[in-house]
Amino acid sequence: MIPSLEALKCIIYLCRMIETVARKDIRQLSLEQIVEYFVSIGDKPFRAKQVYEWLWKKSAKDFDQMTNISLATRKRLKEDFVINHIAVDHMQRSSDGTIKNAVKLFDGLTVESVLIPTDSRITACISSQVGCSLDCHFCATARLKRMRNLNPDEIYDQVVAIKEQSETFFERPLTNIVFMGMGEPLLNYNNVIEAIDKITSPRGLGISPKRITLSTVGIPKMIKKMGDDEVKFNLAVSLHSAIDSIRSSVMPMNLKNPLEDLLDALRCWHSKTKRKVTYEYVVWKGVNDREEDARALVRFCKVVPAKVNLIEYNPIDDGAYQQASEEVMEMYTRLLEKADIVVNIRRSRGKDIDAACGQLANKS
């Protein structure tokens, strides 16, 4: 009997899983653990440094790329470990230059990441989870079930892939990283922090934490933790309303994490890090487009030093939400500026390929 295509796919998936379970991904090991491994097989400890450099700084996808390691050692490494590097399965380019990547993970799941080019910077927008467990009503990713957290190396690899695309297609270096892809980074805290440590380390990509922004729906407990950990990167909070009842109607997580708790956490965060917070804010027709909404935002911005990014809404399906008019955007800008709050209007990028904020839904 010839097995069906589905059955074959299932067999391949199971084989991969068995292989992965049998051999550990070497990138789950710290440098110290790799040293221990080399000592345990009777090799020199300095070998660990060489391998570690290949794994992170040089992003080797295969042990055979490690040309300063002997063939025999490479063979032994292959017997003991795997390198579960991500693969860019599919790449789409927008008419505005934006690139969207469908990224295949070792277990067959997919996430998306985006390269956003502007005159002054090239930004990597990366994912932290497969799917999302939050239920923000205006976001396409929310329609996908949360499958799992990304590992630190899977987060790191997205940056590496976009860094390479930046050099290949734009002949410019990658300048900024934003955690604004799929998932909620603060619900995958340890892995996100470990990835950022590697991205910023001279042993990794050596990118300054000042060029990294973590965007969160705003989980008070975790924002406080980031303050306690004295993180050096930037924080953006997806606010969308400074009035509890309205915020809860578009972001149900606000019911359990009301604005007062959010502000309390942001106060702690600011006292520890001394950094401004950025509020991301979409204005929708009939939802938060009254002067009263803008005034509530102004008051909210006065508590902790903050700036505001007014993000253009990217429609996702049935038209339940619609971008507010230009006059409303001007009203918001005027009131914020009058109160000396820096406000930027962020136009959509990559809309034609569903690569803009909130549009990542593994459609391709």
Q: What are the residue numbers of the active site?
A: 112, 357
Q: Binding to ligand SAH by residue 117, rule CB under 6 A?
A: no
Q: Binding to ligand SAH by residue 314, rule CB under 6 A?
A: yes
Q: According to CB under 6 A, which one of 103, 115, 122, 357 is a site residue for ligand SAH?
A: 357
Q: Binding to ligand SAH by residue 215, rule CB under 6 A?
A: yes
Q: Binding to ligand SAH by residue 350, rule CB under 6 A?
A: no
Residue whose CB is less far from ligand SAH, 97 or 315? 315
What does residue 207 show for φ and ψ, rounded to 5 degrees?
A: -90, 135
Q: How far apart are CA 330 and CA 16, in angstroms?
A: 54
Q: How far apart are CA 274 and CA 230, in angstroms?
A: 10
Question: Could you tell me which of 65, 66, 60 has the C-alpha nearest to residue 25?
Answer: 60
What does residue 177 show for φ and ψ, rounded to 5 degrees?
A: -130, 130
Question: Could you give the angle at which helices 189-200 and 152-170 cross, rounded to 10 degrees?
Answer: 40
Q: Shortest distance, CB of residue 209 to ligand SAH, whole angstroms? A: 18
Residue whose CB is less far from ligand SAH, 183 or 204? 183
Interacting stretch for ligand SAH, rule CB under 6 A, among 41-49, 58-66, 80-88, 309-317? 309-317
List Cα–Cα distances, 329 to 136, 288, 325, 333, in angstroms. 22, 11, 7, 6
Residue whose CB is less far from ligand SAH, 26 or 199? 199
Question: Could you tell me which of 14, 6, 182 has the C-alpha nearest to residue 107?
Answer: 14
The residue written with tokens 């049998």 in the block is 22
Q: According to CB under 6 A, which one of 130, 316, 329, 353 is a site residue for ligand SAH?
A: 316
Q: Binding to ligand SAH by residue 138, rule CB under 6 A?
A: yes
Query: x/- site string to ligand SAH, residues 181 to 210, per CB under 6 A?
Result: ---x--------------------------
Q: Shortest distance, CB of residue 129 to ligand SAH, whole angstroms? A: 9
- HSE-CB at 118 with a 13 A cutoff on CA atoms is 10
Contact 298, 306 (CB under 8 A): no
Q: Binding to ligand SAH by residue 282, rule CB under 6 A?
A: yes
Q: According to CB under 6 A, which one of 155, 205, 217, 246 is a site residue for ligand SAH?
A: 217
Residue whose CB is less far from ligand SAH, 23 or 275? 275
Residue whose CB is less far from ligand SAH, 50 or 364? 364
Question: CA triplet 22, 28, 32: central angle to 5 degrees?
Answer: 115
Applying CB under 6 A, what is the total number of residues that bind ligand SAH? 16
Q: Shortest distance, CB of residue 314 to ligand SAH, whole angstroms? A: 4
Pairing of strands 122-125, 176-179: parallel
Interacting stretch for ligand SAH, rule CB under 6 A, among 71-79, 192-200, 226-234, 306-314? 306-314
Name the token pair of 160.
């590496």
Residue whose CB is less far from ligand SAH, 34 or 139? 139
Residue whose CB is less far from ligand SAH, 66 or 180? 180
Q: Binding to ligand SAH by residue 220, rule CB under 6 A?
A: no
The strands making up 277-281's β-sheet, listed across from edge to edge, are 87-93, 99-104, 110-117, 122-125, 176-179, 212-216, 234-238, 277-281, 306-311, 343-346
The terminus-to-terminus CA distance of the chain in angstroms comes to 33
Q: Binding to ligand SAH by residue 310, rule CB under 6 A?
A: no
> Can you give the binding site for ligand SAH, defined by CB under 6 A?
138-139, 180, 184, 215-217, 238, 280, 282, 311, 313-314, 316, 357-358
